[in-house]
Amino acid sequence: MKQLVIFLLILALQPAVWAQMHRRCPVGCKCDFENAFKRVRCEVADSAVNINFNDLDNDIQFLEVLPRQRGRTDAFGPALPDAFGEFHQLQRLVIRNNGIQRIPAAAGRQLASVTTLDLAGNDIQSLKDLSFENLPNLRSLQLSSNKIDSITDDSFRALRELKLLALNTNAIRSVSPGAFQSQQYLEHLELRNNRLQDLPSSIFDSLIRVDYLDLRGNQLAVVPRGIQRLLGMIVLLLDDNRISTVPNALIQAWRSSEVLADVSLFGNPLVCDDALNDFIAWTKTPDGFKKVCDIASVRGIQGSSGRAKCPTCDGPRGAAGQTVDMVNSRDFQLQSDQQGKGSFAITSGQGSRPATKPSDQDYAVFRVVDSARAPDTFDPRRDASRPASNSKADQTMVKLKKYMPGAGVRCGQQSCYYFSAKGTKEWRTAEYNCQSVGLDLVEIGSAAEQKDLMRFLIEAVKESPQRTSMSRGWWIGYKFDPRSHNVISATTGRTSPYTNWAPGQPNSLATQEECLELWDTGDWNDGRCTLPMENQYICESPLDVGQGLNLQNNALSSSSKGGSGSGGRRTSSGTAASSGASKFDTVSFTVFD
């Protein structure tokens, strides 16, 4: 007991005793201890205040400079000075609001012991100017409120021990597919208040330990694909984006998670129709309400009754303004607020499909059943006598019902592309499904076709966000030959005249890595032909087949309405037959039995 009292007395006197060890504390600073670590904390009037650290002990471990505002000059910018070289035990360095733009290599080498670096509120524009290769021990990096506009594959390559990364309130528009490939220990990632419209699904491949992800205040139209692979997710914040629906695959992952605590979707234009029904139903359960709505009470968002308030619906018209837990999506199944010119809604036994907004390309939606795996005897090679596509649209429509569930079609000047809604883990099943319909898995032959295809892909996903299916990418009709290093057509055996490899690809780490996938960024990757996660796929047909489908749909629509069908019927030349319509009208239809 006596020993315990002495020990507690030593702890109580420790700050006072250790404080005497400081030679002199700079004006405007406080020299104390935090959890037994020597700390110097300087809360000064503005960034022009020059702090003299010469008299400080060289064994301080935490150093924090926190100006209340920017001054006319910056004491520590634009290049971080090498004034910290004498602090060989420095572990935390905080220099905020000082106009810092870069860390010179010499200054970086003197900070090799630093594990926490906070440069929030500075003028950093490029991450490559921060000499991260000299900071291998960083565990926590705070770069919020700077001027960073992109994250590349090399941005954080040297920071393999990073656990927390905050990049809030920058101007980030793009994140490369391999941006976080070295961050296998990252647990906490903040990208709030940037300008992100999409995130490549591959960035989540290495983020296996992330349990806190903040994407609030961006311009995301869909929930980033690949998030469901973060099995340890505890908090996911998606407020104030442009998300209109949540894929069912992701909802299933959320419902089955044993650790997920909060999923926040406030401030998004949620369309509470049948496509969102699984999410709506989940919020009506105690588990879903707690994870989706109770978080609101923490942020001070309360209903009139004092209970937590759930996110509100932005549409359809009859559901707008209601909270998701109070709405019945079946009451608003597939309604449309307005009919776009050159488009129409078709009524069937299952309800109405909303008319879509006009665009300059054809768009078709098929609601069909699931498909089977490719048989073991399937060979993707075809001889020249077999046509690449069926010549009759009715044959294609019948087979689409069987082999391509939920496919969406967009037609350009020369070809039509069929975007699957149901993915497959196997490349050969994707090729099999395409060929079973009379199509081929898409083979991109030029930069122009790649550009058009990516535009179609982005439009198709935005038109029907659940089409993303939360997969990592899209199977395409090529294989990579690791011996010749050529990209080979799987159907003809010919070498592709065009490639668009992602940085560092093809890596060809194993002989079986020979099937190609198209990432959301447009980059190509040579991946295993069988993946643990589903990829979607894109089939291709000549233009006349897609045109025939549209014409047949118009006939079916007219028949189902007793001859009163309407819509942007198209001639075989590809121009709109309706007066005043654009070159390509938007068409949305259901495959009729």
Which pLDDT score, from 0 to 100, does residue 195 have? 96
Degrees, nearest 5: CA angle 91-92-93: 125
Which pLDDT score, from 0 to 100, does residue 512 have? 54
Residue range 262-283: mean pLDDT, rounded? 91
Burial tier of 365 (Cβ tally within 10 Å: 0-12, 13-18, 19+): buried
> Does 295 or 369 have the greater pLDDT score?
295
pLDDT digits (tens, 9 = 90+) for 193-252: 999 998 887 788 888 899 999 999 999 988 987 887 788 899 999 999 999 989 877 888
Distance CA 318, CA 87 (A): 64
Listed in sequence order, the residues at least 6 apart from 465 whose beta carbon sits closer than 8 Å to its beta carbon are 221, 222, 223, 243, 244, 245, 247
Q: How confident is the model at residue 88 (pLDDT cuts 50, 70, 90)?
A: confident
Contact 528, 548 (CB under 8 A): no
Give, rounded to a whole angstrom, the gap between the first and last alpha carbons of the chain.
86
Sign of the CA dihedral running 354, 355, 361, 365: positive
Mark out the alpha helices in 223-313 (DSSP H runs).
Answer: 248-256, 277-283, 286-292, 295-298
In 490-556, DSSP assigns E strands to 515-518, 524-527, 530-542
Q: Which long-range contacts (CB under 8 A, 24 or more apart) does 180-186 make?
A: 180/156, 180/206, 180/207, 181/153, 181/157, 181/205, 181/206, 182/156, 182/157, 182/158, 182/206, 183/156, 183/159, 183/207, 184/160, 184/208, 184/209, 185/160, 185/161, 185/209, 186/162, 186/210
Distance CA 409, CA 450 (A): 16
Contact 297, 308 (CB under 8 A): yes
Listed in sequence order, the residues at least 6 apart from 332 whose beta carbon sits closer than 8 Å to its beta carbon are 272, 273, 316, 318, 319
- Looking at residue 347, what DSSP letter applies? E
Distance CA 414, CA 416 (A): 7
Contact 177, 154 (CB under 8 A): no
Distance CA 436, CA 413 (A): 24
Distance CA 409, CA 28 (A): 66
Measured in degrees and rounded to the nearest 5, phi and psi for residue 582 equal: -75, 175
Domain boundaries, the chain: 352-372+393-560
Residue range 565-571: mean pLDDT, rounded? 33
Residue linked to tokens 């003197």:
110
Q: How confident is the model at residue 559 (pLDDT cuts 50, 70, 90)?
A: low
| Amino acid in the structure at residue 255 | R
Q: How confident is the model at residue 586 (pLDDT cuts 50, 70, 90)?
A: very low
Distance CA 568, CA 585 (A): 6
Distance CA 431, CA 450 (A): 19
Measured in degrees and rounded to the nearest 5, phi and psi for residue 354 equal: -65, 140
Which pLDDT score, from 0 to 100, does residue 363 have? 37
Burial tier of 2 (Cβ tally within 10 Å: 0-12, 13-18, 19+): exposed
Residue from 202, 197, 152 nearest 474 by CA: 202
Residue from 443, 461, 417 nearest 243 by CA: 461
Q: Which run of H or of E encompasses 351?
A: strand 351-352
Share the mean pLDDT of the chain. Answer: 76
> Does 469 or 315 have the greater pLDDT score?
315
Q: Which run of H or of E encompasses 546?
A: helix 543-560
In 99-198, DSSP assigns E strands to 116-118, 140-142, 150-151, 164-166, 174-175, 188-190
Residue range 552-560: mean pLDDT, rounded? 55
pTM over 0.75? The answer is: no
Residue linked to tokens 């998300």:
243
User: With pLDDT > 90 as the criterion, what percentage of the chain qualifies?
Assistant: 32
> 317 is written with which tokens?
């018209």
Q: What burial letters (b/e) apply to 282-310, b meaning 16+ CB within 10 Å?
A: bbeeeebbebbbbbbeeeeeeeeeeebbb
Listed in sequence order, the residues at least 6 apart from 19 whose beta carbon sits closer than 8 Å to its beta carbon are 31, 32
Q: How far is CA 583 from the centre of its chain?
A: 32
Q: How far is CA 430 from the centre of its chain?
A: 24
**577, pLDDT greater than 80:** no
**162, pLDDT greater than 50:** yes
Listed in sequence order, the residues at least 6 apart from 349 whose beta carbon sits closer than 8 Å to its beta carbon are none
Q: How confident is the model at residue 49 (pLDDT cuts 50, 70, 90)?
A: confident
Distance CA 218, CA 241 (A): 5
Beta bridge partners of 410: 417
User: With pLDDT > 70 as the criterion, what percentage of the chain qualifies?
Assistant: 72
Residue from 425, 420, 428, 427 nearest 531 by CA: 425
Strands 515-518, 474-481: pairing kind = antiparallel
DSSP-based three-state secondary structure for 297: helix
Q: How confident is the model at residue 383 (pLDDT cuts 50, 70, 90)?
A: low
DSSP string, 427-485: HHHHHHHHHHHT-EE----SHHHHHHHHHHHHHHHHHSGGGGTT-S-EEEEEEEETTTT
Q: Which CATH class is domain 352-372+393-560?
A: alpha beta
Residue range 162-181: mean pLDDT, rounded? 94
Q: What count of Cα atoms within 13 Å lies in the side-chain half-sphere of residue 566? A: 11
Contact 459, 361 (CB under 8 A): yes
